Chains A and B, each alone.
Chain A
Amino acid sequence: MGVEGIGARVVRKEDKRFITGKGRYVDDIKLTGMTHAYFIRSPHAHAKVKGIDSSAALKMPGVVAVLTGKQLVDDKVGNLICGWAITSKDGSPMKMGAWPAMAPETVRFVGQAVAVVIAESKNLARDAAEVVVVDYEELPAVADMHAAIKAGAPQLHPEAPGNQVYDWVIGDESATDAAFAKAANVVKLDVTNNRLAPNAMEPRAAIADYDAAEEHFTLYTTSQNPHVARLVLSAFYNIAPEHKLRVIAPDVGGGFGSKIFIYPEEMVALWASKKVGRPVKWTGDRTEAFLTDAHGRDHITHAEMAFDANNKIIGLKVKTYANFGAYMSLFSSSVPTYLYATLLSGQYNIPAIHAEVIGVYTNTTPVDAYRGAGRPEASYLIERLMETAARQLNVDPAQLRRTNFITQFPHQTPVIMAYDTGDFNASLDAAMKAIDYAGFPARKAKAKADGKLRGIGVSCYIEACGIAPSKAVGSLGAGVGLWESAEVRVNPVGTIEILTGSHSHGQGHETTFCQLVAERLGVPISQVSIVHGDTDKVQFGMGTYGSRSAAVGLTAILKAMEKMESKAKKIAAHALEASEGDIVIENGEFKVAGTDKAIAFPMVALAAYTAHNLPDGMEPGLKESAFYDPTNFTFPAGAYICELEVDPGTGKTSFVNFVAADDFGRLINPMIVEGQVHGGLVQGIGQALLEHAIYDANGQPVTASFMDYAMPRADDVPSFNLSHTTTLCPGNPLGIKGCGEAGAIGASAAVINAITDAIGKNNLEMPATPDRVWRTIHAA
């Protein structure tokens, strides 16, 4: 490892612009002649749009246009799509209702756009929006999943009778029933996985610029995957063919999944830009983010786990209701199915699993992938079940886990996934040592003497990352391949540009990706730049989500680097009059092994471009590209242990210690990896203690600002004690597993297991607010 190579704690190259206020986010961009969009959104959860009168608005100062959903449909802008086809247990395809970018006839959630005002400034657009009269005929609405599937419930879409999108199953039902028939003990649990709002700190924004002469669009957008946005806008929404549409995702202020999707606002901005003949900018405010950014989680689950007389798990049955909101968002269908139920084996050897997932429409904001996407819901369920089982079977929760850990790899679970490697005992050992698990009873006793209830909670998570092997996901219904692309461009002076289809919105690609180059060539990272986020610069890519950028994106860069190095070695061997096989790369030089003959990398680059003395038949230049498609998912795993105290008088929880022992395979930059874990842990803790996107029975959102939705703040959370154990991922040459989502996947169960341990009651829903904890303590 060099000072800037793989494994080094290199401070980030991108930080200088962010700490000096020179970041360039979408809302920072101004184009000449730019207009501003303000959307008119439904105040009703379910209503018919009977008419829109914009005559007064059109007379307001600075108003350029008022455009409606009807015009959008008339112009044949396509409906929003869901890109993963799921088949119900009866063999029927999932039942999807149409989702136009602005509603021409019916609105189905509060915040759905019906029209847009385009004006000279945002304030003027907002003023005009206030005098647009929308004639709504209110319809009965339903926000609760169980109410939505009852007979007589208000119906959202004619295509989906009973508000049911699909009834999907996985696993072997008869084998699972047989296991339960011979079980010595059965543990049952009902859990709700609370609905969350992703809340990246930068609200979504878009600027669309139509060039009539070239019939060409440019879209600046807050996207985690600009190429996917271009593909979908071209292929499905009829905005423009790909070569006439450039999508730029500049600095993006956090994503967490919510900026994967292509939303109505950027579609409308593109369409409106052509209509008005000027650039159109839309920047959402925080309430619009709560109303329209895809939410996360929202499951209701009943599960049963069967044990034999030796406390070995012999079967697992799960029935989950998943709330999709009013429309099927881009990847929503895959979240509670292939990203959730395929992880229900957890870290455990479970011979028989059967799961059923029922997807439900309600009059709420659409739900899709949010940090972890399905895997937090699976991990939370399994780890709550393990803790419940330990209490019911009267065994130590850590020991019950050890009794059931998978220890042989590869391991084929009954729910599709084949775990490649891991050492679950090692991470649990590390976490137990870090928190002094053995000393807990004495600490609990001391806390009791001080009037506090102390608890400890374990969570052993596993996730499937490195999304994803294209052939495998294709066979499961995915509409796209999930490989990644890279291009290595060596300039004539030897500086290097790496073009990647991954996108950084906080992950630090501009540093970690350079570290691979530094490791291989021995050049300083200042000589390397990372180019991403622009479809005109990078040919194609699938973007950043599912903890994939290092495992998939960086591997693509490695493949392109290998090709470039191979050519460079030939050039060096030719110049040094040596055999190609004898050339080694060290400290920025190509050397003839065992001699003092060497040529510096910039001279090799220059030779490639001057082309005065290249091997016969070799093309000039030094530029290579690669597409990398993984062969399997990767399986990051780890053990989190939380120790906390509950004040029985108030129900307030205070952290004592939180330890995390993760196995991410090889780490490129441990500093950045730790930062990813810290952030994930706080999102998991936020779910456990604070966050909940709430609707009333009529579908009115109750939490639509930071005044109502409890975001974790600095004094709500502790500092963390992190460590790593390592089994290298055999599925990619760098041995990387991915680290972006682990914290959010593993943390919430550790917290709830600790609180329920402290208060001695097992049934406690998230978020475990002081009020809820107090009521649970004092419940009969």
Chain B
Amino acid sequence: MSTVKLTVNGKAVAVDVEDRTLLVQLLRDHLNLTGTHVGCDTSQCGACVVHMDGRAVKSCTMLAGQADGASITTIEGIAKGDELHPMQAAFRDNHGLQCGYCTPGMIMSAIDIVQRHGGQLDEATVRHELEGNICRCTGYHNIVKAVLDAAGRMKVAQAAE
């Protein structure tokens, strides 16, 4: 057993876990943050994507101990109270989700994509960058639309800040 100390969605936590505990298990089983999902166990599908120190990571493929000292943001931590993150709003407005299972990971990856590419996004880039997130419902059409829409919204929001 080890104590992992980390910040999750802005809150400092210390969790005693078995050494083999994965980050996703810490989030789901110990902190009850069940918005982060497991879809494949092999780092392929991206349902488990969270942000670690501002970068998208697959939480099913790292040990909780590797996140010691880090700041983790999950799907539960990106809205400001009742105000959705622009990416969340864009997924809803563009019907970028159906069953919702891949959605948290998609949104967390998509925010990372927009942050890395800024205003330089086009459809081909979004499709290439979403390679590590699998959706079985939407055929990606509306997810791609949502990411491009959100890129515009995030730019506007940034300019306003």
Contact = CB atoms under 8 A, between A and B. Distances in A.
Given A508-B98, A714-B127, A15 B140 contact: no
Given A201-B135, A675-B98, A21 B41 contact: no
B35 A21 contact: yes
B44 interface: yes
A720 B139 contact: yes
Contact of B93 (A11, A508, A674, A681): A11
B95 A11 contact: yes
Contacts of B41: 285-287, 705
A506 B102 CA distance: 11
A706 B18 contact: no
A762 to B, nearest CB: 28
Nearest to B98: A506
Contact of A678 (B39, B97, B138): B138
B24 to A, nearest CB: 11
Nearest to A682: B139
A202 B38 CA distance: 8
Nearest to A283: B38
B91 A19 contact: yes
B76 interface: yes
A510 B32 CA distance: 26
Contact of A23 (B35, B124, B128): B35
Given A705-B42, A706-B42, A679 B138 contact: yes
B123 interface: yes
Interface in B112-141: 123-124, 126-128, 130-131, 133-141
A682 B130 CA distance: 15
Given A21-B35, A123-B20, A719 B92 contact: no
Nearest to B123: A719
The majority secondary structure among interface residues of chain B is: loop
B85 to A, nearest CB: 9
Contacts of B79: 20
Give the residue among B33, B39, B143 with the most A Cβ atoms within 10 A.
Answer: B39
A256 interface: yes
A682 B127 CA distance: 14
Contacts of B37: 25, 201-202, 253
Interface in B15-49: 18, 20, 28, 33-42, 44-45, 47
Contact of A22 (B35, B47, B95, B98): B35
A441 to B, nearest CB: 27
Given A202-B37, A705-B40, A675 B136 contact: no
A715 B136 contact: no
A599 B29 CA distance: 52
A253 B74 CA distance: 19
B143 A714 contact: yes
Given A199-B136, A678-B141, A711-B134, A19 B42 contact: no
Contact of B91 (A15, A23, A253): A15
A251 interface: yes
Interface in A19-46: 19-25, 27-28
Give the residue among B33, B37, B84, B102 with the most A Cβ atoms within 10 A.
Answer: B37
Interface residues on A, range: 35 or more
B55 to A, nearest CB: 19
Given A21-B75, A22-B35, A202 B101 contact: yes
Give the residue among B42, B74, B99, B138 with the most A Cβ atoms within 10 A.
Answer: B99
A680 B76 CA distance: 30
A719 B97 contact: no
B139 A681 contact: yes
Interface in B72-113: 74-76, 79, 84, 88, 91-93, 95, 97-104, 107
Contact of B136 (A20, A256, A507): A256
Give the residue among A16, A287, A678, A720 with the most B Cβ atoms within 10 A.
Answer: A678
Nearest to B97: A18
Give the residue among B36, B75, B133 with the most A Cβ atoms within 10 A.
Answer: B75
Interface string A250-286: 0111101000000000000000000000000000011
B130 A714 contact: yes
B138 A252 contact: no
A282 B72 CA distance: 28
A706 B35 contact: no
A253 B101 contact: yes
A683 B134 CA distance: 12
Contacts of B40: 286, 705-706
Given A18-B100, A201-B134, A201-B135, A714 B42 contact: no
A494 interface: no
Nearest to A251: B100
Interface in A653-679: 671-672, 674-675, 678-679
B101 A25 contact: yes
B95 A675 contact: yes
B14 to A, nearest CB: 20
A253 B36 contact: no
A20 B41 CA distance: 23
B18 A123 contact: yes
B20 A201 contact: no
A199 B40 CA distance: 10
Contacts of A22: 35, 76
Contacts of A680: 139
B47 A20 contact: no
A201 B41 CA distance: 12
A227 interface: no
Contacts of A532: none
A713 interface: yes
A21 B32 CA distance: 11
A505 B34 contact: no
B134 A679 contact: no
B88 A254 contact: no
Contacts of A256: 136
5 contacts: A19-B88, A253-B99, A253-B100, A679-B138, A715-B131
Given A19-B92, A675-B142, A713-B140, 15 more contacts: A16-B92, A25-B101, A27-B38, A199-B136, A200-B101, A201-B39, A201-B99, A202-B37, A252-B99, A285-B41, A675-B141, A681-B139, A713-B134, A714-B140, A719-B141
Interface of B: 18, 20, 28, 33-42, 44-45, 47, 74-76, 79, 84, 88, 91-93, 95, 97-104, 107, 123-124, 126-128, 130-131, 133-144
The 3 closest A-B pairs by CB, nearest first: A21-B35, A253-B101, A18-B100
